[in-house]
Amino acid sequence: MSFGAYLKKTREEKGLGLNQLSLKSGVSSSQISRIENGKMGTPKVSTIKKLAFGLGIDEAKLLSIAGYLPEPTKTTENMIPIKPDDVISVPVIGTIKAGPNGVAFEDHQGTEIVMTNGLDISYEYFYLVVSGDSMIGDGIFDGDYALIKKTQNFCNGDICAVIVDGEEGTLKHVTRSDDSIVLTASNSKYPPRVFVGNKMNELLISGKLVRTMRMF
């Protein structure tokens, strides 16, 4: 089935007219019509992501139908085929703060596809865009994407996304004892930050670093 035919079939199954999908996705109804009728080529990835959002379906499925994700019949010996179930979409966040439910996402920058290999998908995940050079000793640089598993469980020394005083989201090594929490950078020009007593309540562990990604 062509991408356009699949898009039309899915739209109709969702009970959406062209104008309704246009409003939900931000893609013009005329462009959607041309796509469905095969009068234009495969849309850009950004357009497909918008259409998936408007349809309320996993964008990986649409990307696979469009040919952006490899299929087993198109792979070579040094490539590993993936299926739509092998990937998930996670939000990309520029800023995290404390919110009523634990973590408030701010400066939402869209989504990115993540391979589920090695992930416990019973957890939620998000990308935090790294700001600054405090973690360069761990090979984490300004502008990198840090994949964070939303959990407050960690082992001493783990790199975690920590919210300080409800406002400042930071990525640091965390060491916790009965009477203190220490946030440690991996750049020697930044001294450790020690929180003791009531100051420990100013910290919220929003998640644990799983992996990083660099955009070129």
Q: What is residue 123's three-state secondary structure?
A: coil
pTM over 0.85: no
Local confidence band at 41 (pLDDT 50, 70, 90 cut-offs): confident
The one catalytic residue in 22, 89, 134, 206 is: 134
> Is residue 49 over pLDDT 80?
yes
In tens, the pLDDT along 55-73 reads: 998 888 888 888 887 554 4
DSSP class of 45: H
The one catalytic residue in 8, 49, 50, 172 is: 172
Quick check: is 172 catalytic? yes
| Positive/negative CA dihedral, 80, 69, 71, 87 | positive
Quick check: is 134 catalytic? yes
Q: Which domains does the chain have, with CATH numbers?
A: 3-82 (1.10.260.40), 86-213 (2.10.109.10)
CA dist 159 and 138 (Å) reads 10
Whether 106 contacts 135, CB under 8 Å: no
Nearest Cα neighbor of 171 from 154, 117, 102 is: 154
In tens, the pLDDT along 88-109 reads: 899 998 888 777 767 877 788 8
Task: Look at residue 59 in the predicted model and tell me its pLDDT.
Answer: 86
Local confidence band at 80 (pLDDT 50, 70, 90 cut-offs): low
Task: Look at residue 81 in the predicted model and tell me its pLDDT.
Answer: 66
Task: Look at residue 154 in the predicted model and tell me its pLDDT.
Answer: 94
In tens, the pLDDT along 129-162 reads: 998 899 999 999 989 999 999 999 999 999 999 9
Local confidence band at 75 (pLDDT 50, 70, 90 cut-offs): very low
CA-CA-CA-CA dihedral for 38, 39, 42, 46, to nearest 10: -120
- Percent of residues, the chain, with pLDDT higher than 90: 52
Task: Look at residue 102 in the predicted model and tell me its pLDDT.
Answer: 73
Task: Look at residue 72 in the predicted model and tell me its pLDDT.
Answer: 45
Task: Look at residue 77 in the predicted model and tell me its pLDDT.
Answer: 55
Task: Look at residue 78 in the predicted model and tell me its pLDDT.
Answer: 56
Contacts of 122 (CB under 8 A, 6+ apart): none
Task: Look at residue 209 in the predicted model and tell me its pLDDT.
Answer: 95
